[in-house]
């Protein structure tokens, strides 16, 4: 049996990481859905900006929106929402068939500073209202300063994907946030069945640890951290607090293993997939990794509910001068900053593409003269330091 068949057989779901308009329009996502391999999707500004820069797939849509007076940030938001709705419509039958267990589209948008919880919650509520699909959930950073806003968002009934979690402690903080929101909804007489996911950036963690550890040690440490988080998740599911929540109709907080890596590439992604199989979890993988695990020979093992030897593996790191919790905190901040950078990158790509479609005879000029995000003054010039009215 190949890896793909094995993980589907044990009850793990697969999301297509960095789903793009190319994949939506080419029929690739439809093909994966029909084959039964993909049951969810993740859409990000970075993936969108890459497609904007190297293809013309958005040209027609941008030209029409510019003619209608839409540009800048509202235009970028509109493109992402269109992609999310398209993917959500394709996945809607799965969502309906599984009663909301699968068929989700995780959409990452620019998030305002969390220092003003009220403003942040209002911005997220507005974005969700524009999504207009029940199977779209919003990806929000699971940093400590964001947890109060996330609690309010869940309490308001918006499904979320809490991202950039890299340690047991970070996961526990996110889980407590979800539980508080659910308990508040129950106490207020509201339905507690608001879907939430906790995304563990295990691929990024493994890649980051490779700079501190040699050989297979970084991979072993990352998977040990994953096993520890999985054990914690199982323990929470069986705790009195969560059992009361389930009895009231709440949905379980599901883990999402994000396999994307910055440096190690395909080999590391494939290895992580084969070692992080577990029921009621999700593996978010890129298209290249999906191809690699289709038809191969399965050599991995399912995650043990008790964490296996995770504590033994992790116990040796303090003696090597490595504090994994400190590493997780630093990497979480780095990942959150990268989300902001990816939004700036998308605004830049939208501005450049807008210039291209408006002046098709001067593409080379714009390609060489328009500065990108490495130049802060440049991005202001490209965006003309103004926004069009926010429209849906």
pLDDT digits (tens, 9 = 90+) for 143-192: 999 999 999 999 999 999 999 999 999 999 999 999 999 999 999 999 99
CATH code of 3-383, in short, is 3.20.20.70
- The per-residue pLDDT for 369 is 40
State how far the Cα of 322 lies from the Cα of 108, in Å rounded to an integer. Answer: 32
Q: Specify whether the CB–CB gap between 271 and 213 falls below 8 A.
A: no
Mean pLDDT of all residues in 313-335: 82
Q: Over the stretch 80-94, which tens digit does the pLDDT of each residue have?
A: 999 999 999 999 999
How far is it, in rounded angstroms, from Cα 284 to Cα 131? 21
Residues paired with 254 in a beta bridge: 197
Percent of the chain with pLDDT over 70: 86
Q: Return the pLDDT at 376.
A: 36
Distance, in Å, from the CA atom of 233 to the CA atom of 177, rounded to the nearest integer, reads 14
- Amino acid 260: pLDDT: 73
pTM listed for this prediction:
0.89
For residues 293 and 317, the model is more confident at: 293
The least confident of 205-219, 277-291, 327-341 is 205-219
Closest CA to 286 of 73, 28, 2: 28
- pLDDT of 3-24, one tens digit each? 778 888 888 999 999 999 999 9
Contacts 24+ apart (CB under 8 A), 356-362: 356/59, 357/59, 357/62, 357/63, 357/66, 358/63, 358/66
Of the given ranges (15-29, 253-267, 333-347), which has the lowest mean pLDDT?
253-267
Rounded to whole angstroms, the Cα distance separating 365 from 349 reads 15
């Amino acid at each position: 049996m190949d890896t793909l068949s094995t993980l589907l057989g044990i009850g793990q779901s697969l999301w297509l990481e960095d789903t793009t308009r190319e994949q939506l329009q080419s029929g690739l996502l439809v093909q994966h859905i029909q084959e039964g391999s993909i049951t969810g999707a993740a859409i990000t500004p970075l993936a969108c900006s890459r497609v904007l820069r190297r293809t013309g797939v958005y040209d027609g849509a941008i030209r029409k929106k510019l003619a209608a007076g839409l540009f800048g940030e509202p235009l970028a938001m509109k493109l992402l929402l269109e992609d999310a709705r398209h993917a959500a419509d394709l996945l809607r039958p799965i969502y309906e068939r599984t009663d909301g267990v699968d068929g989700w589209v995780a959409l990452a948008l620019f998030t305002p500073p969390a220092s003003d919880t009220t403003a942040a919650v209002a911005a997220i509520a507005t974005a969700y209202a524009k999504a207009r699909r029940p199977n779209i959930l919003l990806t929000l950073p699971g940093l400590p300063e964001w947890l109060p806003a996330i609690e309010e968002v869940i309490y308001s009934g918006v499904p979320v994907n809490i991202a950039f979690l890299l340690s047991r402690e970070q996961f526990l903080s996110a889980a407590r946030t979800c539980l508080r929101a659910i308990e508040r909804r129950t106490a207020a007489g509201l339905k507690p069945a608001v879907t939430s996911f906790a995304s563990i950036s295990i691929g990024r963690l493994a890649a980051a640890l490779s700079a501190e550890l040699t050989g297979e040690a970084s991979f072993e440490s990352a998977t040990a951290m994953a096993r520890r988080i999985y054990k914690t998740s199982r323990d929470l599911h069986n705790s009195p607090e969560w059992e009361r929540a389930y009895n009231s109709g709440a949905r379980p907080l599901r883990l999402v293993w994000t396999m994307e890596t910055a440096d190690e590439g395909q080999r590391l992604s494939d290895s992580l997939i084969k070692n992080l199989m577990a029921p009621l979890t999700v593996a978010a993988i890129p298209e290249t990794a999906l191809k690699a695990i289709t038809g191969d020979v399965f050599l991995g093992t399912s995650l043990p509910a008790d964490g296996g030897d995770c504590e033994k593996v992790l116990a040796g790191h303090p003696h090597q001068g490595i504090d994994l919790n400190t590493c997780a905190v630093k990497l979480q901040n780095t990942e959150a900053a990268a989300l902001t950078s990816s939004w700036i990158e998308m605004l830049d790509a939208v501005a450049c593409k807008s210039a291209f479609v408006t002046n098709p005879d001067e593409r080379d000029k714009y390609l060489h003269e328009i500065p990108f995000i490495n130049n802060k003054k440049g991005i202001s010039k490209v965006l003309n330091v103004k926004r069009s009215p926010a429209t849906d």
